[in-house]
Amino acid sequence: MKVSSTIDTEKLNALIEINTLINSNYSDVNALLAHILSSAMKLVEGEASSILLLDPHRKFLRFEVALGPKGIEAKKFVVRTDEGIAGWVVKNNRSLIVNDAEHDPRFSPSVQQSTGYKTQNMIAVPMCVKNECIGVIEILNKGKDREFDNGDLEVLEILANQAAIAYQNASYLQISRDEIAALQDQIHHERGYHTLIAKSPVILEKLDIIERVAMSESSVLILGESGVGKELFAEQLHLKSDRRSGPFVRVNCAALPEGLLESELFGHVKGAFTDAVCDRKGRFEAAHQGTIFLDEIGDMPLSLQAKLLRVLQDRSFEKLGSSETITVNVRIVAATNRDIEKLVDEQKFRSDLYYRLNVLPLYIPPLRQRLEDIPSLADFFMNKFRREVKKNFMGFSEGALSAILSYSWPGNIRELENTIERACVIGRPPYIKEEDLLLNIRSMPVNNAEGDKSLKSVINLFKKHYIQKALEDNEWNQTVTAQVLDIQRTYLSRLIKELEIKER
């Protein structure tokens, strides 16, 4: 590569070092871009900078990374490809030096007006792969009131070309990893299991309990509101037990009428009733050597509860219409969202069955009591549904994340999943916005009805998630992250310590 004499030795050495770094072992796309941008700012001595990437349909540019005094505000905007300096660079696939931005007709002041950060001069360079522009690197305001020159332009063009190739390679790697992860999730789901997302201390404590009780043969009763994920915890009990290689059979006791439920659980022989045209194996028999999960056990008819009690005690039963006793080796995990003790008091549920099921009770708290899980669950569902709707969402806007954390989620995880799916369907990339969620925040109480303490916990959780995401995007470089967040590095370090933010 021929290098112009306008590039001094110091810049050339820095450029060689940067190119070595960005083409070595970077697999995190956001960390790669943040490193490129930070290096570009140092090379040409700019005060602010950004990398804007083209959307797949080439209709707009989004601020993928923005550093400087108002970087975090700039990331909220998208720029049409027919406006501004960046749009001109994309349209013409040419670099541009603008040393008097205010009087340049190509300059659009919209971002400047919103952020309050004034652009005096700037340099913009296309990021190209095989002569096709995929984005733009912009550096704003040369230090000490100087002007950008051709030496700066040449340095930035060399870096932009190498950066574009490295970015595309990192993107391909990330796409491959996402596809592999999606296939693994699909295989896991096809086997009947779901991904369990857990960040909150209360749920991590429940998983620790599951680790300890999974190896026993005792029955487990899982309690909790509808939609909290009781089935997922039943799956974990099975997967962590010695029965993991055996079947995991699920039965919803509220989904079938009494006659069909008895046949579903215990099977029947030919002629047992009008439609019994052949012998049928029941779910208990199918779960032999494994685990049976009886969901909504509180809705089981009293007449069937006696038969279930016998299975719990003797592991034996007779098929419907048969006198032959069948013995099975099966562990029973039951779940209900009803107040089962109240049902016992009202004689709607057998007390002896309740005590046999309730050997190891496990209460799963509602989502509003496990705030730390909400951002991770929202990210998981967004990644799941953005693939299905074929939209490249990058995350949630500040307003959307605040709304998600403030809402009380009466429908728990099931409602959160449905909300994120709906937002992915109706929303427009790059970010899911508050209005895409269609949440009636004003009609719902704040997440925890604990007054000021609850408000403080929600705000701190928002800060923690937002700062951790920024750190991850910038490969845990606190100096760069502080620039992105527009705060002092010492203040960022204090927040990391106070909020107990740790590298995952």
Convert the pLDDT of each residue in 14-60 to its tens digit: 677 666 666 665 556 777 778 788 888 888 899 999 999 888 777 78
410 and 281, same domain (yes or no): no
73 and 165 together in one domain: yes
Range from 5-14, 27-36, 54-63, 68-77 that averages highest in pLDDT: 54-63
Each residue of 90-124: pLDDT tens digit?
Answer: 999 999 999 999 899 999 988 888 888 889 999 99
- Full-model pTM: 0.67
The answer to whether the CB of 420 falls within 8 A of the CB of 378 is yes
Last residue of a domain, one of 308, 333, 367: 367
Residues 6+ apart with CB under 8 A from 31: 472, 473, 474, 475
Please report the pLDDT score of residue 285 as a whole number.
94
Asked whether residue 248 is domain-assigned, the answer is yes
Same domain (yes/no): 27, 155: yes
What is the reported pLDDT for 60?
Answer: 84
> How sure is the predictor about 191, in pLDDT bands with cuts at 50, 70 and 90?
low
Half-sphere exposure of 77 (CA within 13 A, CB side): 23
Does residue 194 form part of some domain? no
Q: What count of other Cβ atoms lies within 10 Å of the Cβ of residue 23?
A: 15
Residues 354, 478, single domain; the answer is no
Note whether residue 188 is domain-resident. Answer: no
Q: By residue range, what is the domain housing residue 304?
A: 201-367
Query: Could you give the percent of the chain with pLDDT greater than 90?
Result: 44
Across 192-196, 403-407, 429-433, 448-452, least confident range: 448-452
Q: Residue range 278-291: average pLDDT?
A: 93
- The span from the CA of 130 to the CA of 59, in Å, is 20
Which pLDDT value is given to residue 93?
A: 93
Q: What is the pLDDT of residues 395-416, one digit of tens each?
A: 888 788 888 988 889 999 999 9
Instruction: Among 144, 179, 214, identify where a domain stops.
Output: 179
User: Are 429 and 380 within one domain?
Assistant: yes
**pLDDT of residue 443 exceeding 60:** no
pLDDT at 450: 41
Domain termination residue (choose one: 367, 382, 397): 367
How confident is the model at residue 178, as a pLDDT? 65
Residue 441 vs residues 194, 402, 448: alpha-carbon distances, Å = 29, 11, 14
Domain count, the chain: 3
Give yes or no: residues 391 and 484 share one domain: yes
* 365 Rama class: left (phi>0) / alpha (psi -120 to 50) / beta: beta
- Do residue 234 and residue 362 come from a single domain? yes
